[in-house]
Amino acid sequence: MADDKAKVKLLMGNEACVEGALAAGVRFFGSYPITPANEIGEILSDRLPEIGGKFIQMEDEIASMGSIIGASIGGLKSMTATSGPGFSLMQENIGFAAIAEVPCVVVNVMRAGPSTGLPTRPSQGDVMQARWGTHGDHPIIVLSPHSVRETFDLTVTAVNFSEKYRLPVILLMDEVIGHMREKMTVPGPESIEIINRVKPTVPPQWYKPYEDNQTGVPPMAAFGEGYRYHITGLTHDQMGFPTSKLDEIKAGIERLFRKVTLALKDIQLYEYIMVDDAELVIVAYGCVARSARKVVHDLRKEGKKVGMMRLITLWPFPRRALEAIPQKVKKLVVPEMNMGQVYREVVRVNAGRARVVKVNRIDGELITPQEIAAAC
């Protein structure tokens, strides 16, 4: 059946991110202005109050991350948006959200760095920071869109994953995707899958906020609903109180990872393009995947057996999908706008099966199809 409420719009990636957030049920946004993510907060400052949501411009990115954690604990789906320097400031609170298992979404529209770098130029330099930016062993989910429509879809997915698995999810965009415009169909609400956090069904006096179960994801009560419990950044027991007991520490951290490991088939998203008969495969993500896709089609016209694996989920890294690339593939080409961050993962997972070649740019300009083709 046709979606009668679907609308065709000309949107930039940042605008599509807003539409996806609202469609997924985000009702709180706390942020601090930063290029090239500003449009997300600017638009939400208008749109959220119209539907009963809340927008707050915080004093800095540290407070922005703290505000969305607090809003989520209060029961609202929450999100923030930033870029490189702001993302750095958020890392400690991202770690807090991870160990306290607070659902929230962090959008990072990447720009060239390090430090202030090139505020208006694109980059893919935050891939490793997205995985390891906060200290300690922790699970994280990182998604990377390559188009305006996919930005909408992955924003919805990011909110759903955060709610379903009770953890922070990072939408790792880049300036190209954030600011380019494409025509897209905004689907009606009836065609969008919405996932909400599981609420406790036991009386408040029986509730254990970090109790283990088969999924590893405990039900989450909102503050103000009659369930009183303790939240801390310290290692804690099933009641949320700090613990130094070795068995409780080990069990708690292992459960954090297990809830993600059990759901890898759901979380690890990727796309194969003409891989079945390929002898060379390009591994790409984000805006660079657009250049890579053109290379695949151009070289196929020349009779060359070239395919592509597009990474949608960057973390947890889709190892099995990369390992499943046919044995006859003798060369992997990894183009990215950094010094080789995903390249290192590809080398590690590939384990010497094929030759791995990297194509890099760090000057704030998009890698061209010609640069990728020259390495194929």
Confidence bin at 1 (pLDDT 50/70/90): very low
What are 241-291's pLDDT values in tens digits?
999 999 999 999 999 999 999 999 999 999 999 999 999 999 999 999 999
54 and 174 fall within a common domain: yes
Domain presence at residue 282: yes
179 and 33 fall within a common domain: yes
Which of 357, 351, 307, 367 shows the shortest CA–CA distance to 332?
A: 357
CA dihedral 252, 257, 258, 263 (to 10 degrees): 140
Look at residues 172, 191, 210 and tell me which one is the last residue of a structural domain.
191
Domain presence at residue 81: yes
Can you give the residue range of the structural domain that contains 360? 269-375
**Mean of the pLDDT values across residues 202-224?**
96
Domain count of the chain? 2
Domain presence at residue 263: no
Domain presence at residue 78: yes
11 and 122 fall within a common domain: yes
Look at residues 191, 216, 241 and tell me which one is the last residue of a structural domain.
191
17 and 156 fall within a common domain: yes
Domain presence at residue 200: no
44 and 176 fall within a common domain: yes
Domain presence at residue 225: no
What does the pLDDT read at residue 4? 57
42 and 177 fall within a common domain: yes
The CATH number covering residue 135 comes to: 3.40.50.970
Q: How much is the mean pLDDT over the chain?
A: 96
The least confident of 6-15, 35-44, 168-177 is: 6-15
Domain presence at residue 228: no
The CATH number covering residue 282 comes to: 3.40.50.920
What does the pLDDT read at residue 84? 96
30 and 138 fall within a common domain: yes
Look at residues 169, 191, 213 and tell me which one is the last residue of a structural domain.
191
Domain presence at residue 259: no
Considering the entire predicted model, what is its pTM?
A: 0.96
160 and 307 fall within a common domain: no
